[in-house]
Structure 1
Amino acid sequence: MSTIIALVLLAAVLGFAVARPRGLPEAVAAVPAALLCIALGLVSFTEAVHEVRELLPTVLFLAAVLVLAYLAEKHGVFEYAGAAVARFGRGRPKRLLTAVFAAAALTTAVLSLDATVVLLTPVVLTVAARAGVRPRPHVYACTHLANSASLLLPVSNLTNLLAFAASGLSFAGFAALMAVPWLAVVAVEYVIFRFFFARDLVGQAEAPPPPGPAPKYALAVLAVTLAGFAALQPFGVDPAWVAAAGAIGLAIPLLRRRAVGAGTLLAEANPAFCAFVLALGVVVLAVRSNGLGDWIDGLVPRHADLLGLLAVAGLAAILANLLNNLPATLVLLPAAAHSPGLLMAVLIGVNVGPNLTYVGSLATLLWRRILHARDAAPRTSEFLLLGLATVPVCLVAAVVALWAGLRVGGI
């Protein structure tokens, strides 16, 4: 009975997060569900507090990077990126797709998948409209790369941060191990997009004017922040502090000009979503502690050979599309924590797998909401067909690349 209750609570939380009735934040369902888990004895108060403490550094980083991405947008980074993408495209759809792939992959890697979905997608829509090309391939690239291109760095995705904390890898070691899988996934996605959207990638429009001056200060701060993640992590400096320092560096000029206010920065940190993540961790702990954890542990292979990595990535992808990628990560991490290779395979599954369905990640749901608001709603059948065309091939390509990297690195 306790297993059933825990699963019902998790389903209710995820269902609310997907539907978001009346635009209410996800925490409206998640926090009461977490409290119910404690009240019903599904988890003890001590276990819940421990889980929140374990997740807190990751959630604080999430808040800091959300503010960092918002401030980068206020400094004109995304407007400049859009102009540069348009200039490279020269009114040619295929060249524009190449530029969008590069911009989306780099944005996701450096500023996380949320920046790609929330800030880059509207820019890409505008660029496509001004260029007179069909926007479908380019906006689909934003959501696909927001998920699959988040493999590269620990800071690229909340799922990565969760696994990074358990992996024992350094920041540089994580990036080195995931670089080839990241490149493999981006390359495979690009090739499939060229074929899948062949009819949309024809014709030519007038080339746009050159972009204006680059926001040099903001780009320099972002570069220093990214370098700080790698340089300071071996000294035990939490990534949240580095992201917060970068956000402060971007905020100071804007605060002086009164272009933003302290209240706006607090709102952009999205405390309600942070509360949702913490509460979701408690609900997932209840699910794991009442039967599902033992079942999952039995499914996860013990060795990081090629078949084991493929099995873990496939399992993670399935769970991501059933439970959403964040709870799937929380469920799988304890079972794969004994092996860095298996942990990285979990990340491949929960980051690439969500491109199969809308519910695979919250970022995909947000992307869909953004397109609906701009009268550019995607067709569900097309989304599913593109997912079926890309996800299995990308999973295999990334896992094979990871397996080769593990062999070369002796991990």
Structure 2
Amino acid sequence: MATAISLLLLVAVLGFAVVRPAGLPEATGAVPAAVLTVVTGLVPWRAALDELAGLGPTVGFLAAVLLLAYLADQAGVFRFAGAAAARWSGGSPRRLLGLVFVIAAAVTAALSLDATVVLLTPVVFATAATLSVRPKPHVYACNHLANSASLLLPVSNLTNLLAMSAAGLSFLGFAALMALPWLAVIAVEYVILSRFFADDLATPAHRPPVEPVPAPRFALAVLGVTLTGFAVASPVGIHPAWVALAGALALAVRLRIRVPTLLRRADPAFCLFVLALGVVVLGVSRGGFGRLVDRVAPQHADLLGLLLMAVLAAVLANLLNNLPATLMLLPLAAHSPGLVLAVLLGANIGPNLTYVGSLATLLWRQILHKSGHPPVTGEFLRLGALTVPACLIVGVASLWVSLRVSGL
């Protein structure tokens, strides 16, 4: 009964987050579910408080990086990137796809996957319209790279921050181990997407005049210093949330953004949702379903063990969403940095298979519907079926090489 109740609460929370009736924030469903999880005894209140305390710094970073991405957009960083892509593409759809891959991978790595989905996708739509090219390959690239290109840095994805802590890795140590998988997965994504959308990319090049957009030098400099700060702060024990907040404040002062706007753009409701979701997932982990996952989770970080852990994480991500999957699997993998990083491969790549795999994919779907170009479910699933298995295999093999080279 306890297992059934915990799973029902988790499904209800995720269902509410997907549908968002009357536009209510995700926390509206998650907070009552977290309270019920504690009141019914599925999670002791002390364990719930420990979970909230553990998630607190990570959620603080989430708020800071959401704010940083918004301010970068206000400073014109994304408009500049779109104009540069339009100009450098020469009107070629295929060349534009390559530039979108580069920009989306960089934005995802530096500003997190939410920035790519929410801020870059509309810019890519506008750029495609300017060049009179079909937008589908390029906006699909935004979605796929928001997930799979979030492997590189701890700040690229909320799941990564959780994993860095669980694995006991430094910022640069994490990046060094994930650099090869990141490059390999992006290469596979490019090959498959360019072939999948070959007809859309075969349209003749069109060279309309592109109005130049001045480079937002101050904003770009702040982002560069912030990224450097992430690497420098980690070894001395400064949480990346403080670095992201400092970068955001520098941009806010320059742009003269008011405090109420800053608070709203930090999205406290979504941060509260993540905290409440952690308590609900803890209830699932302590029940029968969690014990079942524990039994099937691999214990050794050899090549087969890494692959099995990545596949398990991908399956759970598409059943439960990638954040609950990560929260559930990290305690089972914490004894091995390699297994922790394999969890990330599955949790970050796996969501490209279905709409519910990650909140970023759900946001991307909403953006396409609002733009008048809704994704075709069958096409989305076919592309996911091609990319996810291939990326998992290549990503795991690359991670295994990185671990062998590093001696872990």
TM-score by length of 1: 0.98
1:298 Cα deviation from its structure 2 partner: 1.3
Please name the residue that 1:147 is paired with: 147
- 1:299-318 alignment runs, 5 A limit: 299-318=296-315
Please name the residue that 1:68 is paired with: 68
Q: Does 1:190 align with 2:187?
A: no
Contact 1:67 1:265 in 2 (8 A): yes
Please name the residue that 2:109 is paired with: 109
Q: Does 1:8 align with 2:8?
A: yes
1:207 Cα deviation from its structure 2 partner: 4.5
TM-score by length of 2: 0.99
1:293 Cα deviation from its structure 2 partner: 2.3
Per-residue CA deviations over 1:343-396 (Å, capped at 9, x if unaligned) read 000000000000000000000000000111111111111100100110100000
Contact 2:278 2:327 in 1 (8 A): yes
User: 1:386 is aligned with what amino acid?
Assistant: L
State the percentage of identical aligned residues: 66
3-state SS, counterpart of residue 213 of structure 1: coil
Contact 2:130 2:208 in 1 (8 A): no
Please name the residue that 1:221 is paired with: 222
Contact 1:87 1:207 in 2 (8 A): no
Contact 1:55 1:278 in 2 (8 A): yes
User: 1:90 is aligned with what amino acid?
Assistant: G
Per-residue CA deviations over 1:213-269 (Å, capped at 9, x if unaligned) read 2100000000000000001110000000000000011110111xxxx3211111110
Q: Does 1:287 align with 2:280?
A: no
User: 1:251 is aligned with what amino acid?
Assistant: A
Contact 1:84 1:210 in 2 (8 A): no
| Structure 2: gaps (5+ residues) | none
Q: How many residues align?
A: 407
Please name the residue that 2:251 is paired with: 250
Q: Does 1:369 align with 2:366?
A: yes
**CA RMSD after TM alignment:** 0.8
1:292 Cα deviation from its structure 2 partner: 2.3
1:57 Cα deviation from its structure 2 partner: 0.2
Please name the residue that 1:100 is paired with: 100
Please name the residue that 1:53 is paired with: 53
Cα distance in 1 between the residues matched to 2:374 and 2:212: 29
1:27 Cα deviation from its structure 2 partner: 0.4
Q: Does 1:165 align with 2:165?
A: yes
User: 2:239 is aligned with what amino acid?
Assistant: D
Cα distance in 1 between the residues matched to 2:340 and 2:369: 35
Contact 1:52 1:281 in 2 (8 A): yes
1:209 Cα deviation from its structure 2 partner: 2.7
3-state SS, counterpart of residue 286 of structure 2: helix
3-state SS, counterpart of residue 396 of structure 2: helix
Cα distance in 2 between the residues matched to 1:397 and 1:46: 41
1:210 Cα deviation from its structure 2 partner: 6.0
Please name the residue that 2:398 is paired with: 401
Per-residue CA deviations over 1:268-305 (Å, capped at 9, x if unaligned) read 10000000000000000011112222221211111101
Please name the residue that 2:317 is paired with: 320
